[in-house]
């Protein structure tokens, strides 16, 4: 934040306001004082002039009313001139005595003696003669540049008849000089008062603004996330209470910021470590946040996606026309599969709303549901296969039982055959149900193994010997066993079931004169067991499916031979329960080899990867 300049600071504003208030007060007081003083001086000056005029008027009226005989000295004019000459001229600049004929009979202006006996035409004199009353006014003398107080006072005889007029002009220069001196004194005092007030104003403003400046600096510090400092409290006034409130706010913000930061770190940790992807957008659909899991799922760097349109990122341009449609979509499966791999993503959409219910953004949670969809599809296929496998023998049994019911049971040649078929189909369904129950227990981990220390080569010979006694004549079993003892930790009954399934399948699919190779190899930490036949073989793209439940490479032949399609699936579960691994190799027309590995006891056992 930029520093506030002095000329824009609140301190200067306080000083200016303080000085302006003082100036206004001084001007109001000065104006009132000057006006009153001027009025008082003028009234005093005019009173002084009027007093002298009254005295002069009285003396002149006495002179005008005195009876004189012809030739008697002094004459009226001489006596009037003598009276006028005795009047001081400090303030009165012009003094004239005018008779009722408007002629000047006396004057104090020694420089203009020719004015005597001249007729005057001054309006104020004529008005005094005409109205028989004193007249006065203030004029501006253009020659001297001063104001002049002008007055005309009528003179009366004993019969109260106007016999003359006293006309005078008194200069107001003295009064104006006094006012000017007083104004200069007032101005100097005002300047001194403003100077002192400005200094005091600076101190007062600094006292007021110092806590505010500290609070501003503290606010800038708080804006940077530092809540360790406090504002000094200088008093108990409003600013002091403001500083205390500010410190309290600082503490609350520090606590709130710490909680928010903690929640942010938790959220960041959750978003970073959760397996599901999270994408946040604004109300227009532009991506504002994406965690690493989302980037991995869609195969793009999260930093590069910021600002991109959500529908483009999730490849929903063809499914969703407008971003607002996501409010009601809930969730959907998005297919990111390519030619090499199936990849399905489930997207769950939710909205972010403000206090007024307006949508401000969207939260999209994406997860990989490829395996879930595969499991779901396998479940549907499993149900379908079970239904199909059970329906076939049941249909066959129903057909033969209906034939027996219709009278075939009376035919001694046909009835035994029909009953034999029904018995075989019943046993086949029993085997299928037993296999399904076994798989179910193994899936639920309710099928414990009774393992014991077993020498595998001798054990394998015993299993093969059982088949040698019942093997068809057109099939040969060829053994390839290593010398020595190889101890394995296994459940003999379960492993016998594995070997029975594998060897039985090899016998079923071997042609006449075929040879089945049974081999054991020592692979240091593991024993590799393989059973190879010379049957029809399995296509490469179907090889991995033979261990799936109910899968048959040749359905017709397997069903004819009484298989349930669950043998290899059970074998896989049992081998993996022994920490082993099972797989197959095959070429069409050349036979199939089923292989599995078991860990040896004299080595650390572990899962085969």
- The answer to whether domain 12-178 and domain 274-363 are alike in fold is yes
**Does position 561 have pLDDT exceeding 60, yes or no?**
no
Q: What confidence score (pLDDT) does residue 441 get?
A: 67
**Does position 144 have pLDDT exceeding 60, yes or no?**
yes
Give the ranges where 90-137 is alpha helix by DSSP (H): 123-131
**Does position 250 have pLDDT exceeding 50, yes or no?**
yes
- Burial-class residue 609 by CB neighbours within 10 Å (0-12, 13-18, 19+): exposed
> Using alpha carbons only, how large is the chain's radius of gyration in Å?
65
How many C-beta neighbours within 10 Å does residue 336 have?
Answer: 17
Give the full edge-to-edge strand order of the sheet including 475-480.
Answer: 475-480, 514-523, 526-532, 591-599, 581-587
Architecture of domain 452-599: 2-Layer Sandwich (3.30)
Q: What confidence score (pLDDT) does residue 455 get?
A: 93
| pLDDT average, residue stretch 475-496 | 89
Confidence of residue 580 (pLDDT cuts 50, 70, 90): very high
**Cα separation, 469 vs 343, whole angstroms:** 51
**Cα separation, 527 vs 275, whole angstroms:** 38
Query: In this structure, are residues 526 and 547 in contact, taking their beta carbons and an 8 Å threshold?
Result: no
Residues in the chain: 609
Confidence of residue 560 (pLDDT cuts 50, 70, 90): very low
> Per DSSP, which regions of 160-222 are E strands?
162-171
Task: Give, in order, the Cα–Cα distances in Å from 255 to each of 247, 322, 375.
Answer: 12, 42, 49
Higher pLDDT, 416 or 595: 595
Q: What confidence score (pLDDT) does residue 110 get?
A: 63
| pLDDT average, residue stretch 187-195 | 84
At 412-465, the pLDDT tens digits run: 777 887 788 778 778 777 766 776 676 666 666 656 778 899 999 999 999 888
Nearest-CA neighbor of 92 among 133, 39, 153? Answer: 153
**Cα separation, 67 vs 76, whole angstroms:** 10
What does 21-72 look like in DSSP terms, one character per residue? HHHHHHHHHHHHHHHHHHHHHHHHHHHHHHHHHHHHHHHHHHHHHS---TTP
Higher pLDDT, 11 or 229: 229
Query: In this structure, are residues 98 and 77 in contact, taking their beta carbons and an 8 Å threshold?
Result: no
- Burial-class residue 137 by CB neighbours within 10 Å (0-12, 13-18, 19+): exposed
**Ramachandran area for residue 243 (φ above 0: left; ψ -120 to 50: alpha; else beta):** alpha
Note the Cα 260 to chain centre separation in Å. 12
Q: What confidence score (pLDDT) does residue 73 get?
A: 64
Higher pLDDT, 39 or 331: 39
| pLDDT average, residue stretch 186-203 | 82
**Cα separation, 100 vs 156, whole angstroms:** 10
Percent share of the chain, pLDDT over 70: 85
Confidence of residue 606 (pLDDT cuts 50, 70, 90): very low
Q: What confidence score (pLDDT) does residue 2 get?
A: 45
- Domain ranges for the chain, please list them: 12-178, 234-271, 274-363, 374-443, 452-599
Domain 12-178 sits in CATH at: 3.30.450.20
| pLDDT average, residue stretch 78-84 | 77
**Cα separation, 541 vs 222, whole angstroms:** 67
Chain position carrying tokens 């650390």: 604
**Cα separation, 335 vs 140, whole angstroms:** 107
**Cα separation, 281 vs 361, whole angstroms:** 5
Query: In this structure, are residues 164 and 154 in contact, taking their beta carbons and an 8 Å threshold?
Result: yes
Nearest-CA neighbor of 76 among 98, 55, 92, 51? Answer: 98
| pLDDT average, residue stretch 288-317 | 82
Dig out the tokens for 479 from the structure: 């053994």
| pLDDT average, residue stretch 25-54 | 83
| pLDDT average, residue stretch 246-272 | 82
Phi, psi of 380 (to 5 degrees): -65, -40
Higher pLDDT, 162 or 319: 162
Q: What confidence score (pLDDT) does residue 609 get?
A: 43
State the fold for domain 274-363: Beta-Lactamase (3.30.450)
Dig out the tokens for 17 from the structure: 């306001």
CATH top-level class of 374-443: mainly alpha
Average pLDDT score over the chain: 79
Confidence of residue 600 (pLDDT cuts 50, 70, 90): very high
Chain position carrying tokens 């005889």: 157
Query: In this structure, are residues 524 and 484 in contact, taking their beta carbons and an 8 Å threshold?
Result: no
Confidence of residue 111 (pLDDT cuts 50, 70, 90): low
Q: What confidence score (pLDDT) does residue 604 get?
A: 47
| pLDDT average, residue stretch 521-526 | 89
Dig out the tokens for 353 from the structure: 């709303």
| pLDDT average, residue stretch 127-143 | 82
**Cα separation, 443 vs 549, whole angstroms:** 13
Percent share of the chain, pLDDT over 90: 8
Q: What confidence score (pLDDT) does residue 200 get?
A: 81
**Does position 571 have pLDDT exceeding 80, yes or no?**
yes
SS3 3: coil
Q: What confidence score (pLDDT) does residue 176 get?
A: 82
| pLDDT average, residue stretch 61-68 | 76
**Does position 56 have pLDDT exceeding 90, yes or no?**
no
**Cα separation, 441 vs 447, whole angstroms:** 5
Higher pLDDT, 406 or 382: 406
> pTM for the whole thing?
0.42
Confidence of residue 123 (pLDDT cuts 50, 70, 90): confident
SS3 550: coil
What does 303-314 look like in DSSP terms, one character per residue? HHHTTSBHHHHT
> Per DSSP, which regions of 262-413 are E strands?
277-282, 287-290, 331-335, 344-353, 359-368
Higher pLDDT, 131 or 602: 131
Q: Which segment of 157-171, 187-201, 380-394, 402-416 scores lowest on mean pLDDT?
A: 380-394
What does 551-594 look like in DSSP terms, one character per residue? --SSHHHHHHTT--S-HHHHHHHHHHHTT-EEEEEEETTTEEEE
Strand partners, 597: 528, 581
């Amino acid at each position: 934040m930029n520093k506030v300049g002095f000329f824009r600071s609140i301190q200067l504003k306080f000083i200016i306001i303080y000085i302006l208030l003082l100036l206004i007060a001084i001007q109001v007081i000065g104006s009132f004082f000057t006006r009153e003083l001027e009025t008082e001086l003028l009234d005093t000056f005019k009173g002084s002039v009027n007093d002298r005029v009254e005295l002069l008027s009285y003396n002149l009226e006495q002179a005008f009313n005195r009876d004189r005989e012809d030739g008697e000295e002094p004459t009226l004019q001489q006596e009037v001139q003598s009276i006028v000459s005795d009047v001081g001229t400090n303030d009165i600049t012009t003094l004239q005595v005018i008779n009722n004929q408007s002629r000047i009979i006396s004057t104090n202006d020694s420089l203009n003696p020719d004015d005597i006996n001249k007729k005057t035409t001054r309006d104020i004199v004529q008005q005094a003669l005409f109205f028989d009353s004193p007249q006065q006014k203030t004029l501006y003398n253009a020659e001297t540049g001063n104001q002049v107080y002008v007055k005309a006072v009528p003179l009366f005889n004993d019969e109260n008849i106007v016999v003359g007029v006293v006309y005078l002009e008194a200069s107001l220069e003295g009064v104006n000089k006094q006012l000017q001196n007083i104004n200069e004194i007032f101005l100097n005092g005002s300047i001194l008062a403003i100077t002192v007030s400005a200094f005091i104003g600076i101190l007062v403003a600094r006292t007021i603004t110092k806590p505010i400046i500290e609070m501003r600096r503290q606010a800038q510090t708080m804006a940077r996330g530092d809540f360790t400092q406090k504002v000094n409290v200088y008093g108990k006034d409003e600013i002091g209470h403001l500083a205390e409130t500010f410190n309290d706010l600082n503490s609350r913000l520090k606590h709130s910021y710490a909680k928010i930061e903690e929640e942010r770190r938790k959220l960041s940790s959750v978003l970073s470590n959760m397996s599901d992807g999270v994408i946040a957008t604004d109300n227009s659909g532009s991506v504002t946040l994406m965690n690493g899991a989302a980037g991995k799922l869609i195969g793009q760097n999260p930093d590069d996606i910021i600002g991109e349109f959500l529908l483009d990122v999730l490849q929903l341009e063809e499914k969703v026309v407008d971003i607002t449609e996501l409010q009601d979509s809930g969730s959907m499966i998005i297919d990111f599969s390519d030619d090499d791999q199936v990849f399905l993503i489930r997207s769950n959409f939710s909205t972010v709303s403000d206090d007024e219910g307006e949508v401000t953004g969207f939260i999209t949670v994406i997860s990989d549901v490829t395996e879930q969809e595969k499991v779901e599809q396998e479940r549907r296929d499993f149900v379908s296969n079970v239904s199909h496998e059970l329906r076939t023998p049941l249909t066959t049994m129903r057909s033969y039982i209906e034939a027996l019911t219709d009278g075939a049971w009376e035919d001694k040649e046909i009835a035994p055959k029909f009953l034999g078929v029904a018995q075989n189909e019943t046993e086949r369904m029993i085997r299928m149900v037993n296999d399904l129950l076994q798989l179910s227990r193994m899936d639920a981990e309710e099928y414990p193994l009774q393992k014991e220390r077993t020498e595998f080569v001798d054990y394998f010979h015993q299993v093969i010997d059982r088949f040698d006694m019942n093997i068809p004549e057109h099939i040969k079993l060829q053994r390839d066993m290593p010398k020595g003892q190889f101890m394995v930790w296994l459940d003999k009954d379960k492993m016998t079931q594995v070997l029975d399934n594998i060897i039985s399948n090899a016998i079923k699919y071997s042609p006449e004169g075929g040879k089945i190779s049974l081999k054991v190899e020592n692979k240091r930490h593991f024993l590799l067991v393989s059973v190879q036949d010379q049957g029809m073989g399995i296509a490469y793209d179907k090889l991995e499916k033979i261990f799936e439940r109910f899968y048959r490479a040749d359905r017709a032949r397997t069903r004819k031979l009484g298989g349930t399609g669950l043998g290899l699936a059970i074998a896989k579960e049992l081998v993996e329960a022994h920490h082993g691994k099972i797989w197959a190799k095959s070429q069409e027309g050349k036979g199939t080899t089923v292989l599995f590995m078991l860990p040896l006891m004299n080595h650390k056992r572990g899962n085969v990867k």
